[in-house]
């Protein structure tokens, strides 16, 4: 009698993939067992999506083999992979907004009769929803759904195609804590049914929460595969980054000063003319970081564009140091000391075709010390200043005359910090400042913002990463569909649960007990 071990559900061996100028995957092995949640952990650019795009038939590997239940398979198209039972939910799900949930699920199915059997599709969708606890109305149009709900549609779509192997590429980056919890329930149910799940993330706490085994990738190579029992946050971070990581950042208590920025009943429209900031008010004080929490796309960016003076407002007032600025050109905002670190680093923030000096000059060239005879840019002075800034903000660069596009993401963001913070602005608007950065650049950005607060600036920190908001903020405001849900005065008193509910649209007032003694309210509702 032979004791044969069943072949793993997925076996990838020696996977190689290069792109022009980048080796994305280098000799990678990966096994997925039945009934397992296997996490791919790695920093941005480590090669996680590439490896999974290969498994799902989107990319062809340069070398290496893929076995499904012991049988070698070569996927030429995503369709080949789907028929082998592989379903991938991409970071940007590919749904048709003008169609309903059930139509999206049915879209692209093979062997469909000429007209879709609506009732049987909906019945099957409901069956999947019940089995895996995925709630979304099959008749809703996709454009009506939140990002979290759209993700559920994408998951239902793969399950509808009988995916045996489900790949989720950074699914939690767009979810509130509650939505993440619901997703994890679904993942556990899929595991229960003896399918396999490959989960991609760079968030250590959740990786430890959901995984059975973890494979760490760094710079396109596999570092290790370990069972979760052997993993700690520290050891995972060390393998992911390649050296020890200290998680603690030194945040001291500060006494905020007077109000530097006041927004009153702001109404701002987005690109398509829809109101996306709705009677929004807040006050930002000197020496404080006010965190603005919210799922991205709830009006945060439009709000900050308006506060920076680069987007028109419909109504309301913006007051900086007692001076009303609404309706004034953006340079007036700059002159009053409003600096802006936008989410869109390459686009609104920096001009990648310009060199490092020119990018520094971009928002300052009109200043006296940088002009000659009033009309000419004083390039020597700008070069001198740029040299100092690059040093102070540790921007690793091949030379000040090189185009900004030659910098890595982390160094681009440091260049932005250098330009926006060096003159100790009164107000700093920082939107998703560590988005897409590796661990060390993220720490640098966070420490720099804290330092800027300690130097006296008022910092409005917009982030969809609650961990970031909680670790940096002195107060926390929550935005949902352009409205202020409330301001939590003491972040230590707020639970992630409560903030998550506010991010999903519950007003803070609903959490306040009825009999709070006056003067002892740790949180303040919207007036």
Binding partner selected for residue 218 from ligand ADP, Mg ion, none, CB under the kind-specific 5 to 8 Å limit: none
Cβ-proximal residues to 39 (8 Å cutoff; 6+ apart), any chain? 198, 199, 200, 201, 207, 210, 211, 213, 214, 215
342 token code pair: 């936008």
Q: Which is nearer to Mg ion, 49 or 498 (CB)?
A: 49
Least separation in angstroms between CB 413 and ligand ADP: 16
- Which residues face 288 on adjacent strands? 458
94 CB-contact burial (10 Å; exposed 0-12 / middle 13-18 / buried 19+): exposed
Q: Which stretch binds ligand ADP (CB under 6 A): 39-47, 117-125, 272-280, 420-428?
A: 39-47
Check binding of 143 to ligand ADP (CB under 6 A): no
Binding partner selected for residue 211 from Mg ion, ligand ADP, none, CB under the kind-specific 5 to 8 Å limit: none
Cβ-proximal residues to 506 (8 Å cutoff; 6+ apart), any chain? 485
Least separation in angstroms between CB 373 and ligand ADP: 45
Check binding of 42 to ligand ADP (CB under 6 A): yes
| CA triple 199-205-207, angle to 5 deg | 20
Q: Which is nearer to ligand ADP, 13 or 90 (CB)?
A: 90
Least separation in angstroms between CB 22 and ligand ADP: 4
| CA triple 130-133-139, angle to 5 deg | 65
Q: How far is CA 229 from the centre of its chain?
A: 28
Q: Which is nearer to ligand ADP, 59 or 160 (CB)?
A: 59
| Three-state secondary-structure class, residue 318 | strand
Q: Which is nearer to ligand ADP, 48 or 357 (CB)?
A: 48
Cβ pair 465, 259 in contact under 8 A: no
Closest listed residue to residue 131, CA positions, set 175, 189, 82? 189
Neighbours of 371 (CB within 10 A): 15
Check binding of 45 to ligand ADP (CB under 6 A): yes
Q: Which is nearer to Mg ion, 49 or 359 (CB)?
A: 49
Check binding of 50 to ligand ADP (CB under 6 A): yes
Least separation in angstroms between CB 15 and ligand ADP: 12
How far apart are alpha carbons 9 and 212 in whole angstroms?
A: 15
Q: Which is nearer to Mg ion, 24 or 290 (CB)?
A: 24
Site string for Mg ion, 39-78 (x = CB under 5 A): ----------x-----------------------------
Produce one character per residue of 411-430: b if its CB has 16 or more CB atoms within 10 Å, e if not: bbbbbbbbbbbbeebbbbbb
Binding partner selected for residue 19 from Mg ion, ligand ADP, none, CB under the kind-specific 5 to 8 Å limit: ligand ADP
Least separation in angstroms between CB 408 and ligand ADP: 10
Q: Which is nearer to Mg ion, 49 or 286 (CB)?
A: 49
Task: Find the DSSP H helices in 351-393.
Answer: 356-361, 379-392
Q: Which is nearer to ligand ADP, 21 or 273 (CB)?
A: 21
How far apart are alpha carbons 256 and 423 in whole angstroms?
A: 20
Check binding of 500 to ligand ADP (CB under 6 A): no
Least separation in angstroms between CB 182 and Mg ion: 23
Q: What single string gives the DSSP state of each residue in 130-195?
A: HHHT----TTSBGGGS-HHHHHHHHHHHHHHTT-SEEEESSGGGG--HHHHHHHHHHHHHHHHTT-
- DSSP structure class, residue 8: P
Check binding of 473 to Mg ion (CB under 5 A): no
Cβ pair 349, 416 in contact under 8 A: yes
Least separation in angstroms between CB 170 and ligand ADP: 8
Give the chain's length: 527
What are the phi and psi torsion angles at 105 (to 5°)? -65, -40
Binding partner selected for residue 500 from Mg ion, ligand ADP, none, CB under the kind-specific 5 to 8 Å limit: none
Binding partner selected for residue 177 from ligand ADP, Mg ion, none, CB under the kind-specific 5 to 8 Å limit: none
Q: End-to-end CA distance of the chain, in Å?
A: 76
Q: Which stretch binds ligand ADP (CB under 6 A): 38-46, 118-126, 157-165, 391-399?
A: 38-46
253 token code pair: 């208590």
Site string for ligand ADP, 12-31 (x = CB under 6 A): -------x--x-x-------
Check binding of 46 to ligand ADP (CB under 6 A): yes
Q: Which is nearer to ligand ADP, 167 or 303 (CB)?
A: 167
Neighbours of 174 (CB within 10 A): 20
Max Cα-Cα span within the chain: 94
Check binding of 172 to Mg ion (CB under 5 A): no
Tell me the CB-side half-sphere exposure of residue 145, using CA atoms within 13 A: 25
Binding partner selected for residue 448 from Mg ion, ligand ADP, none, CB under the kind-specific 5 to 8 Å limit: none
Q: Which is nearer to ligand ADP, 42 or 294 (CB)?
A: 42
Binding partner selected for residue 146 from Mg ion, ligand ADP, none, CB under the kind-specific 5 to 8 Å limit: none
Least separation in angstroms between CB 52 and ligand ADP: 8
Cβ pair 226, 213 in contact under 8 A: yes
Check binding of 172 to ligand ADP (CB under 6 A): no
Q: Which is nearer to Mg ion, 168 or 478 (CB)?
A: 168
Q: Which is nearer to ligand ADP, 53 or 386 (CB)?
A: 53
Sign of CA dihedral 51, 53, 55, 59: negative
Judged by the rule CB under 6 A, the positions of this chain that interact with ligand ADP are 19, 22, 24, 42, 44-50
Residues of the shown chain interacting with Mg ion in the complex, contacts defined by CB under 5 A = 49
């Amino acid at each position: 009698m032979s004791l044969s071990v069943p072949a793993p559900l997925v076996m990838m061996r020696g996977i190689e993939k290069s792109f022009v100028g980048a080796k994305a995957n280098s000799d990678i092995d990966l096994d997925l067992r039945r009934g397992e949640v296997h996490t791919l952990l790695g920093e941005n650019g480590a090669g996680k999506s590439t490896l999974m795009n290969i498994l799902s038939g989107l990319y062809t590997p340069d070398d290496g083999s893929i076995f499904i239940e012991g049988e070698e398979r070569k996927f030429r198209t995503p369709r080949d992979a789907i028929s082998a039972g592989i379903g991938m939910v991409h970071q940007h799900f590919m749904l048709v907004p003008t169609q309903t949930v059930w139509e999206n699920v049915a879209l692209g199915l093979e062997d469909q009769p000429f007209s879709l059997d609506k009732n049987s599709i909906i019945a099957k969708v409901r069956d999947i929803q019940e089995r895996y606890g995925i709630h979304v109305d099959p008749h809703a149009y996709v454009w009506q759904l939140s990002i979290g709900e759209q993700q559920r549609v994408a998951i239902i779509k793969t399950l509808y195609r009988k995916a045996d192997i489900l790949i989720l590429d950074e699914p939690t980056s767009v979810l509130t804590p509650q939505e993440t919890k619901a997703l994890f329930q679904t993942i556990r149910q899929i595991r229960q049914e003896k399918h396999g799940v490959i989960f991609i993330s760079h968030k250590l706490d959740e990786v430890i929460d959901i995984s059975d085994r973890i494979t760490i990738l760094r710079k396109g190579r596999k570092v290790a595969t370990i069972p979760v029992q052997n993993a700690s946050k520290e050891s995972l971070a060390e393998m992911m980054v390649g050296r020890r990581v200290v998680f603690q950042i030194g945040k001291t208590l500060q006494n905020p000063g007077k109000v530097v920025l006041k927004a009153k009943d702001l109404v701002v429209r987005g690109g398509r003319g829809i109101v996306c900031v709705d009677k929004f008010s807040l006050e930002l004080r000197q020496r404080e970081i006010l965190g603005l929490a919210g799922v991205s796309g709830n009006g945060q960016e439009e709000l900050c564009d308006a506060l920076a003076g680069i987007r028109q407002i419909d109504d309301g007032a913006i007051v900086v140091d007692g001076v009303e600025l609404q309706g004034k050109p953006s340079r007036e905002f700059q002159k009053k000391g409003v600096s802006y670190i936008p989410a869109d680093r390459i686009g609104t923030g920096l001009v990648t075709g310009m060199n490092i000096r020119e990018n520094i000059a971009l928002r300052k060239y009109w200043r006296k010390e940088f002009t000659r005879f009033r009309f000419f840019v004083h390039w020597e002075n700008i070069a001198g200043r740029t040299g100092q800034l690059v040093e102070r903000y540790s921007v690793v660069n091949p030379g000040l005359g090189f185009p900004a596009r030659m910098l890595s993401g982390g160094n681009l963001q440091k260049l932005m910090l250098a330009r926006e913070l060096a003159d100790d602005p009164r107000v700093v608007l920082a939107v998703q400042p560590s988005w897409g950065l590796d661990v060390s650049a993220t720490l640098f950005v966070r420490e720099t913002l804290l330092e800027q607060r300690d130097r006296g600036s008022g910092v409005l920190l917009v982030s969809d990463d609650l961990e970031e908001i909680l670790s940096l903020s002195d107060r926390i405001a929550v935005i949902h569909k352009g409205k202020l849900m409330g301001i939590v005065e003491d972040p230590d008193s707020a639970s992630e649960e409560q903030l998550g509910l506010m991010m999903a649209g519950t007003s803070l007032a609903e959490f306040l007990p009825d009999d709070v003694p006056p003067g002892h309210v740790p949180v303040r509702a919207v007036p």
